[in-house]
Amino acid sequence: MPSTHPLILRFCGEQVAPDHLEVIRSVTGDCPGLSRTELASTICEILDWRRLNGRLKTVECRALLEELDGKLLRLPPLRAGRPRGSRTSTAPRTAPELSLTGTRRDFDPVEIVPVSGPQEQALWRSLVERHHYLGHRVPFGAQLRYFVRVHAPEPVIAGCLQFSSPAWRMEARDRYLGWDDAARRKNLQRVVSNSRFLILPSMRIKNLASSALSLACARLPGDWESRYGIRPWLLETLVDSARFSGSCYKAANWVQVGETTGRGRNDREHLHHGESPKTIFLFPLVKGAGRLLAGAPTSAGALAPSMQHKNPYASSIYAI
């Protein structure tokens, strides 16, 4: 029998109300034949837990259900398949990767290309799994993926990018933005995480990484708004300082604001504090991003795109 010990639970940053918990327990108890994903979708429909574009928050709701499993409810056993957050199978390597050496201008134009269709998704996963030190995992929440493409002179895939939902809480980021709990709950959906960035090791192209980041910063806001119905104001990323200096982010004018505690997204009991701290970098996508995110009054032109995007290789940047 699940424990009745009181829990403080949150769903997408908001505390779960007691009546919501009753709905959750009722659905999971009355519909034992549904899968975990089907239960999550049903609960989202009943409670109207949706993104701004109207899509259900099924992924986040399933994570909540699995947190409650064995505490306030019993979930059905996992069915065969790949759970969210797990490592995924990748496509077999079908051809040797081309090795290129030179400067970015030798291989213009550099392009940021959305990943679409099963074959491209499989290729993206394969490249990231083989060459990124974290491998590939299904991201939590919303996500968009891109290829970095150069021309030599034919189009060649030179790297991979992934943008996904941000961390719920990071002390250094929140302090830098002047966020209290209310401001973070209100505006966290305006922040997007650059959760994977890979330039293939066979690509020895000077300035390619920072150029690709700048182009991605220019493209991402419109694509994210088209997919999810909200335009982001700020990008964040985490760099493992034990492995990397973050030089490409610095060259692309991202701002270093501090370090994480090393706990990770799901370490709510502080069991892994300080194990693997990461350096936090931020990039504003609109003028006055910091003031907007903190809820401070701004001028009428505050939502104009940053001047950085008129010239992806410019050295100036609006301060957060």
DSSP string, 3-24: -------EETTEEPPHHHHHHH
In tens, the pLDDT along 147-158 reads: 999 998 899 999
pLDDT band at 305; cut points 50, 70, 90: low
Q: How many CB atoms lie within 10 A of CB 297?
A: 8
Helix, coil or strand: residue 25: helix
CATH number given to 105-309: 3.40.630.30
Burial pattern 153-172, b for ≥16 Cβ within 10 A else e, equals eeebbbbbbbbbbbbebbeb
Token pair 């002390």 is found at: 171
Cα 311 from Cα 40, distance rounded (Å): 44
CA atoms within 13 A on the CB side of 163: 26
pLDDT band at 278; cut points 50, 70, 90: very high
In tens, the pLDDT along 45-59 reads: 888 888 887 888 888
Q: How many CB atoms lie within 10 A of CB 284?
A: 23
pTM: 0.68
DSSP bridge pairs for 155:
151
Q: How many CB atoms lie within 10 A of CB 14?
A: 11
